[in-house]
Amino acid sequence: MHKPVSHRSGHCCDSRDSSDSSDPSGCRHAGPRPLRALGLLAACAAAALLAAPAQAASIYLCKTNGGATFWSAAHCRQHDALIDRIESVPDGLPFDQQVALAEQSRAAAARLYQAPAPSARTATVNAQAPQAAGRSKGEECKALDAHITQLDAQARQPQTAQMQDWLRSQKQKARDRQFQLRC
């Protein structure tokens, strides 16, 4: 049997009764007392962090059946509306500041969905598009063929979906013009 343990030496096996043979290693703990105390301290710190108040709140952009939108700290269901967007904002700020932060985040997300501005490369393609004024039918047909070849080459390169759509529409316009000229 074990005797009551005195941890003055820092190790509980110092007080182990030598008649106990159930433990072949001779010791039933993970290590000296300082390591166990450190583990206990870490567990207490983790519990304190979990018990700390939340640092973020959610606010909801609600949409009514009529299409109007409004921000709410409560779930949209409580206002008989549908959720359009949920934003995480710092807790403890006044509601109007939380709404301002949520609007900034919403605007940043909207900018991600906007079509990219035409690049210099796109402007060059537009400038090279054949114009009917001052050209013979044969010259315009050759220019249309070259333009379509250039559009095909550009379409084979990695492009955004919007750019691919634009290239397709430009190629369709050039093909339509070829048909009009009977090239």
Cα angle 103, 105, 110; round to 5 = 90
Q: Is 104 exposed, middle or buried (0-12, 13-18, 19+ CB in 10 A)?
A: exposed
Q: Pull the structure tokens for residue 130.
A: 């054949």
> Tokens 């400038």 map to which residue?
127
Domains of the chain by residue range? 12-51, 56-112, 120-181
Contact 82, 62 (CB under 8 A): yes
Report pTM.
Answer: 0.37
How high is the pLDDT of residue 138? 87
pLDDT range class, residue 55, cuts 50, 70, 90: confident
